[in-house]
Structure 1
Amino acid sequence: MKILFAASEAVPFVKSGGLADVIGSLPEVLREQKLDVRVILPKYGDIAESFRSKMETAATLSVFLGWRNQYCGVQVLEHNGITYYFVDNEFYFRRGGLYGYGDDAERFIYFSRAVLEALPHLGFKPDILHCHDWQTGLIPYLLKRLYMQHPFYQSIKTVFTIHNLRYQGRFNRKLMQDLLGMGDEYFGMGDHLEYYGDGNCMKAALESADVVTTVSRTYAEEIQTEYYGEGMDGVLRKRSWSGELTGIVNGIDNTLFDPMKDPNLAEPFRNALSKKRRNKTALQAELGLTVDERIPMIGIVSRLVEQKGLDLIQTMMDELLAEKLQLVVLGTGEERYEHLFLDKAHWHPDQVSAHITFHDGLARKIYAASDMFLMPSQFEPCGLGQLIALRYRSVPIVRETGGLKDTVSAYNEDTGEGTGFTFFDYNAHEMLYAVKRALKCYADEEAWNQIMKNIAKTDFGWEQSAKQYVQLYRQVMSGGNAPVALSPADAASEEPSDEEAPEAAADAPALEAASE
């Protein structure tokens, strides 16, 4: 099968969030499943010259937008065995950053039209167009509404993946009519594009794509409710009842996130707790915290926004700091949360370290050094932070929502099962109680070692999810419904442990025991 991913960002070219990690890693794993997967992206100004200089022009064409014909260049580059196409229009994309401009509606309507117009010029006709988030939401809609009358497009199927339902691409109806050159008949009640008098790119995709997916099983269930549905729950329930909505949990690149080979770490490790704790003391010294491997360290690597549960942390900050722990925070976001962590770091310099930036190297140091990773999200479609934390053997403390529920199992002290600490209600005191349970367990060497053993058996690499995507694509091509969403596999890892594996360690606890 030939699959073309259409997305607005991808590692290593440009990144604003987890979407870029998915688009940068999933195609490579699908290629190993014998699929011909390629990717098409905007050619942003932020793409490094080292990539831009290697791009070759594959086609030049015009794209109709409103009353104008806009230039479109399609450039091509092969990277890690994957062919990437870049839609080149300097007016729309040669700017700093990816989103947040006043003409984002025009930019991504143009991109959606450009993808469809470029297809006959690529020398590659996809069986399936796999579109991601609202920036590509008009592709399934326009394909069915305007392009299906042309024989070239009639056999092409579409899959649309929701990475975050909150961001929908809702714009003024008159603006969208002008840009699309569409009359009132396209915006009537019941039309896929119309949404309470406006146009909505996400809704257009949800109703037009052959199959809709999202990035975890639980999130696929949650978004069918009014609380999580962001106004789309009715549409999503309809797709689910038709068997056309499924959830496939995201994975991570186990090669990219490997504490045995990560050059950012003070000391590589896999299942050696003593080595992990040397990473902790190294980071404590680097950040000016009290250097003591016995003090539990909680890491937060996140966008500092309310969705991530920061209001719960804000409410309980003084109670958290009353515990014997250290808190290391990395991220940017809302000013009130940035100031919260900076203020606490100022008044508790031996206990709190706050870094209002994004730095991949420091993020990896935090994952490797922290004993626990706090992620109390209000909602979380999938989440990559907890997966990376598990990979670096940092125990997640999470709310039971979306992908967090699917990937972190609650520790049961009676049975010894579980990989983290969870709470259900979106409540600050419940979060605090989960943190206290984790701290109590940390003080119990035997219990902590058992959690580490449990985590060592997990594997959230892309391989299991890729197999589900292959099954999905086959069913789409055969005209069948989406497969029932599967639970993420807790496959036993076959990776070699280092020399201080649990069974071999005589002088260390039993673990001498892992992010659009």
Structure 2
Amino acid sequence: MNVLFCTAECSPFYKTGGLGDVSGALPKELKKNGVDIRVVLPFSSKISDEYKSQCEEIYVFTVDVGWRKQYCGIKYLNLDGIDYYFIDNEYYFKRPNIYGDYDDGEKFAFFQMAIIEMMEKINFIPDVIHLNDHHTAMIPFLLKEKYHWIQKFDQIKTVLTIHNLEFQGQYGSDILPELFGLATHRYEDGTIRFNDAVNFMKAGILYADKITTVSPSYAGEIQTPEFGFGLDPILRMESHKISGILNGIDYDVFNPKTDKHLASQYDVKTLKKKKINKKQLQERVGLPVREDVPVIGIVSRLTYQKGFHLLLDEMENLLQFDVQLVLLGTGDPNFERQFSYFGYHYPDKASINISFDEAFAQQIYAGSDLFLMPSGAEPCGLSQMMAMRYGTLPIVHEIGGLRDSVVPFNPVTGIGTGFGFNEFNSYQLMEAIKKAVFLFKDYPTVFNHLREQGMEKDFSWNQSSQKYISLYKNL
């Protein structure tokens, strides 16, 4: 089975979040299971020189972006057994940002047409094209409306994975003739029109053969007005082709037994070594070194969607308890300032680090006792899985992938891998934190048993990759 995996970002080359993690890990697992999968992504200026120097240019051609004839180079790299193809055009991709430029519509129009026109040139016509988010969501539409005359493409099936429905790729109707070289009738008849704009995500939802989301709960949530961002009627109409497959994490990268960033490696059988990493984390951030105080870790973008306004509402209250908080992240400038205020006024209890560093993040996963994710919406979330992998118990709002991956502690049965709250408000968040802190302080044996349960959960890509393979085969 041949699959072309199309993505705007991919670890280890560059990433901004979960999409990059998934694009780096899922193809590796699919390859292990016999799928001939190849990955295509932009040749971004963010790629390190180490990888750039290994790339080989294998083809050069031009892509018609409306009236523009744009250079397109295809660069190739085999890394860890995966074939990567990079779409090269310095005008579009030699930029400091991956997203958010004024001409994102043009940039991703070029990218998507380049992918389609690349396939014949590299002699790889896939059975399935796997698309990710709105940056590649127009490809099923283009295959049927622009490139339908190419017989080799007739049998290609398409899967669109929605990682975050909030971002949909909406542009003026003139994008069809101006960039894609198409008439506007599919806009005028309402097919790909939404809010008086061409909507890349809507086009993908309607034209792809299958839709997946990154967790089962999110597949249902996006079909409601609360989480559908206006597309819920379309998603309900297409519900027969929607399924949710929970993301996994890369066990080669996130493994406390082999993680070189840690002061001491450990696993579920040597969990006592975790305290060495807690001591190292406390020393690094300048907090008092104490085994008996629970360290609450946060590694996240600081936004409303991630629920950090709830935490800010309770920070003064939280820091009256015997706890330590270590935060790593960037985001809303107001949130950054408010968290920094608490770090300044409570230097023995709060370490606020407004930056991002992957090695530091993994030290927080390993050195914390609890991990906070109060997200208002979370299509999947990976940090809670990483935390459990490192024996750190997540405290989560029970939504989307957080609900699907974290088992809230049940004091009757003793079963659980973390703590949860249902109602999205600061009071319920604080109640969940208090339960976790109470258990850590007063019932350490039970708390450690929960750590072990979390570490023994299988969040590898093995199970999820089998579901994708089944989906491909059914197509």
Instruction: Check whether TM > 0.5.
Output: yes
- Aligned partners of 1:49 and 1:283: how far apart in 2? 31
**Paired residue for 1:347, among 327, 345, 348?**
345
Equivalent in the alignment of 1:424: 422
Q: Is 1:11 paired with 2:11?
A: yes
Equivalent in the alignment of 1:494: none
- Aligned partners of 2:313 and 2:119: how far apart in 1? 52
How far did residue 414 of structure 1 move? 0.7
Cα displacement string for residues 172-198 of structure 1 (whole angstroms, at most 9, x for unaligned residues): 22244411222231211331x211211
Equivalent in the alignment of 1:463: 462
> Which stretch shifts more, 298-307 or 165-174?
165-174
- In structure 2, list runs of 5 or more residues that go unmatched: none
Matches within 5 A, 1:231-310: 231-240=230-239, 243-271=240-268, 272-310=270-308
Q: Tell me, yes or no, if the aligned pair for 2:391 and 2:452 is still in contact at 8 Å.
A: no
Report the residue type matching 1:410 in the other structure. P
Q: Tell me, yes or no, if the aligned pair for 2:173 and 2:184 is still in contact at 8 Å.
A: no
- Aligned partners of 1:154 and 1:319: how far apart in 2? 61
Structure 2 counterpart SS, 1:308: coil
Report the residue type matching 1:316 in the other structure. E
How far did residue 445 of structure 1 move? 1.7
Q: Is 1:227 paired with 2:210?
A: no
**Paired residue for 1:331, among 323, 329, 332?**
329
- Aligned partners of 1:14 and 1:449: how far apart in 2? 36
Structure 2 counterpart SS, 1:83: strand
- Aligned partners of 2:404 and 2:14: how far apart in 1? 28
Equivalent in the alignment of 1:180: 180
How far did residue 266 of structure 1 move? 1.2
Q: Tell me, yes or no, if the aligned pair for 1:305 and 1:337 is still in contact at 8 Å.
A: yes
Structure 2 counterpart SS, 1:199: strand
Cα displacement string for residues 34-78 of structure 1 (whole angstroms, at most 9, x for unaligned residues): 110000001111111211122112221111111122111111110
Cα displacement string for residues 390-438 of structure 1 (whole angstroms, at most 9, x for unaligned residues): 0001000001100000000110011101111001111110010000010
Matches within 5 A, 1:373-388: 373-388=371-386
Structure 1 counterpart SS, 2:59: strand
Equivalent in the alignment of 1:136: 136
Structure 2 counterpart SS, 1:39: strand
Larger RCO, structure (CA 8 Å, separation 6 or more)? 1
- Aligned partners of 1:180 and 1:146: how far apart in 2? 8
Report the residue type matching 1:121 in the other structure. K
- Aligned partners of 2:184 and 2:345: how far apart in 1? 60
- Aligned partners of 1:173 and 1:125: how far apart in 2? 30
- Aligned partners of 2:362 and 2:334: how far apart in 1? 25
Cα displacement string for residues 170-227 of structure 1 (whole angstroms, at most 9, x for unaligned residues): 1122244411222231211331x21121111111101110000010000001000000
Q: Tell me, yes or no, if the aligned pair for 2:390 and 2:455 is still in contact at 8 Å.
A: no
Matches within 5 A, 1:338-487: 338-443=336-441, 444-476=443-475
Matches within 5 A, 1:98-247: 98-191=98-191, 193-240=192-239, 243-247=240-244
- Aligned partners of 1:112 and 1:288: how far apart in 2? 48
How far did residue 451 of structure 1 move? 0.9
Q: Tell me, yes or no, if the aligned pair for 1:413 and 1:447 is still in contact at 8 Å.
A: no
- Aligned partners of 2:20 and 2:35: how far apart in 1? 20
Structure 2 counterpart SS, 1:9: coil
Report the residue type matching 2:123 in the other structure. G
Structure 2 counterpart SS, 1:173: coil
Cα displacement string for residues 346-386 of structure 1 (whole angstroms, at most 9, x for unaligned residues): 11111000111110111011000100000010000000100
Q: Tell me, yes or no, if the aligned pair for 1:298 and 1:372 is still in contact at 8 Å.
A: yes
Report the residue type matching 2:199 in the other structure. N
How far did residue 161 of structure 1 move? 0.3
- Aligned partners of 1:161 and 1:414: how far apart in 2? 38
Cα displacement string for residues 458-501 of structure 1 (whole angstroms, at most 9, x for unaligned residues): 1100000000000000011xxxxxxxxxxxxxxxxxxxxxxxxx
- Aligned partners of 1:285 and 1:64: how far apart in 2? 57
Q: Tell me, yes or no, if the aligned pair for 2:212 and 2:244 is still in contact at 8 Å.
A: yes
- Aligned partners of 2:208 and 2:237: how far apart in 1? 13
Equivalent in the alignment of 1:503: none
Report the residue type matching 1:268 in the other structure. Q
Report the residue type matching 1:14 in the other structure. Y
Q: Tell me, yes or no, if the aligned pair for 1:278 and 1:293 is still in contact at 8 Å.
A: no
TM-score normalised over the length of structure 1: 0.90
Equivalent in the alignment of 2:42: 42
- Aligned partners of 2:135 and 2:109: how far apart in 1? 8
Equivalent in the alignment of 2:63: 63
- Aligned partners of 1:46 and 1:196: how far apart in 2? 33
- Aligned partners of 2:101 and 2:372: how far apart in 1? 32
Structure 2 counterpart SS, 1:235: helix
Structure 1 counterpart SS, 2:453: helix
Equivalent in the alignment of 2:53: 53
- Aligned partners of 2:173 and 2:426: how far apart in 1? 40
Report the residue type matching 1:277 in the other structure. K
Q: Tell me, yes or no, if the aligned pair for 1:219 and 1:382 is still in contact at 8 Å.
A: yes
Number of aligned positions between the proteins: 473
Report the residue type matching 1:209 in the other structure. A
Report the residue type matching 1:54 in the other structure. Q
- In structure 1, list runs of 5 or more residues that go unmatched: 477-516
Give the fraction of aligned pairs with identical amino acids, expressed as a percent.
43
RMSD of equivalent CA atoms: 1.1
- Aligned partners of 2:293 and 2:6: how far apart in 1? 46
- Aligned partners of 2:182 and 2:194: how far apart in 1? 15
- Aligned partners of 1:222 and 1:51: how far apart in 2? 39
Q: Tell me, yes or no, if the aligned pair for 2:176 and 2:184 is still in contact at 8 Å.
A: no
TM-score normalised over the length of structure 2: 0.98
Q: Tell me, yes or no, if the aligned pair for 1:301 and 1:385 is still in contact at 8 Å.
A: yes
- Aligned partners of 1:449 and 1:95: how far apart in 2? 47
